[in-house]
């Protein structure tokens, strides 16, 4: 971890967020997967620490100055199958309907995380210098004028192999995975808002990668914030984290499965990042994540496992999601 960052407990982040939210003071923040620690500060404080945020623009800050080299060494197929089978046994016991199984992949590239951040094209970008960078396509929640929206993203297929997005929409496994997560997010949002509605179900985005584009399936769920949560973004996060799209359902028992099966720390991967400009609160799920430590880069990725999942296809999806977004 970058020792120059004044790290805070999750509780400190949330209480500061509530204070700044109620007073309509702009801030930026990020918290880890387990909601244990993170950072929050003003845009000026972020700049002083070299922390960079880019939310909503989806444009390149600069062009590549050299031809990118990108090699990846994922966990072995046998190792992944062992974890996959443990998850399937848990599903068959009834402990989970959907489990998001992730793993680290060692990568080699001639680019620094700072260079990757500058070139990346993604809706949610974050750079914590000498630590990690994120270029995520997935929104967590947006809040404006007391309306909360969530855009759960579940379902991925390679464009090259599937010429029409209908292939993704009609895939039995992907349908089951997406329906489960939409139901989970509806339930999560009902803790802080009422009424809840699915405004848009199963829409497709095309995500650019250095190895070919991907179809990604999302839905839009919204609700009106309850009075006790208005302006209290930290209080809202304490009810919603960890994010349903990167854990599973039912959430409590699935989180235990993840702890038992994944033999590495996710850290900030699959945590939440975001900003508040005084009016709009916008946050993203920290997927598409590269971490650097002791001259070694690690890319963390994963996907949802259901009773319909095929181990080989899930292993390929895990590798497919290890990419540079340009």
Domains recognised in the chain with CATH numbers: 8-61+72-320 (3.60.120.10)
So what's the pLDDT on residue 161?
Answer: 67
pTM for this model (two decimals): 0.92
Q: Is the pLDDT of residue 293 over 60?
A: yes
Is residue 101 within 8 A of residue 259, CB to CB? The reply is no
pLDDT digits (tens, 9 = 90+) for 178-204: 898 999 999 999 999 999 999 999 888
Share of the chain above pLDDT 70, in %: 97
Instruction: Work out the mean pLDDT of the chain and round it to a whole number.
Output: 93
**What band does 59 get if pLDDT is binned at 50, 70 and 90?**
low
So what's the pLDDT on residue 163?
Answer: 64
Instruction: Return the minimum-mean-pLDDT range out of 70-74, 117-121, 267-271.
Output: 117-121
Residue 22 φ then ψ, to 5°: -65, -35
Summarize the confidence of residues 7-18 as an average pLDDT: 98
CA distance 46 to 140: 21
So what's the pLDDT on residue 142?
Answer: 97
Summarize the confidence of residues 296-310 as an average pLDDT: 95
CA distance 12 to 248: 26
Summarize the confidence of residues 43-47 as an average pLDDT: 97
pLDDT digits (tens, 9 = 90+) for 85-116: 999 999 999 999 999 999 999 999 999 999 99
So what's the pLDDT on residue 177?
Answer: 85
Beta strands in 159-287 (DSSP E): 193-207, 214-225, 248-249, 272-276, 281-285
Q: Is the pLDDT of residue 64 over 70?
A: no
Q: Is the pLDDT of residue 159 over 90?
A: no
DSSP 73-123: EPPPHHHHHHHHHHHHHHHHHTS-SEEEEEEEEEEEESS-HHHHHHH---S
Q: Is the pLDDT of residue 14 over 90?
A: yes
């Amino acid at each position: 971890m970058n020792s120059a960052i004044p790290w805070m407990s999750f509780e400190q982040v949330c209480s500061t967020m509530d204070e700044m939210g109620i007073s309509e003071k702009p801030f930026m923040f990020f918290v880890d997967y387990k909601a244990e620690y993170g950072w929050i500060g003003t845009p000026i404080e972020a700049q002083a620490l070299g922390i960079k945020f880019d939310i909503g623009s989806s444009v390149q800050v600069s062009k590549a100055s050299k031809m990118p080299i990108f090699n990846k060494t994922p966990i072995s197929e046998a190792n992944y199958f062992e974890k996959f089978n443990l998850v399937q046994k848990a599903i068959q016991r009834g402990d989970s309907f959907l489990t998001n199984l992730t793993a680290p992949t060692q990568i080699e590239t001639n680019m620094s995380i700072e260079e990757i951040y500058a070139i990346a094209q993604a809706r949610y970008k974050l750079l914590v210098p000498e630590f990690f960078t994120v270029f995520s396509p997935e929104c967590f929640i947006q809040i404006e004028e007391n309306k909360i929206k969530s855009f759960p993203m579940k379902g991925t297929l390679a464009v090259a192999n599937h010429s029409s997005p209908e292939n993704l929409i009609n895939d039995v496994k992907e349908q089951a995975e997406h329906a489960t997560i939409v139901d989970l997010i509806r339930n999560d949002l009902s803790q802080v808002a009422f009424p809840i509605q699915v405004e848009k179900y199963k829409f497709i985005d095309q995500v650019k990668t250095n190895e070919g584009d991907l179809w990604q399936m999302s839905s839009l769920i919204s609700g009106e914030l309850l009075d006790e949560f208005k302006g209290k973004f930290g209080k809202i996060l304490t009810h919603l984290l960890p994010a349903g799209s990167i854990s599973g359902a039912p959430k409590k028992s699935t989180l235990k499965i993840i702890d038992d099966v994944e033999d590495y720390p996710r850290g900030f991967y699959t945590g939440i990042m975001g900003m508040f400009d005084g009016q709009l609160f916008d946050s993203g799920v920290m997927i598409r994540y590269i971490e650097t430590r002791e001259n070694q880069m690690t890319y963390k990725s994963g996907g949802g496992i259901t009773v319909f999942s095929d181990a080989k296809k899930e292993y390929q999806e895990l590798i497919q999601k290890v990419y540079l977004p340009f």
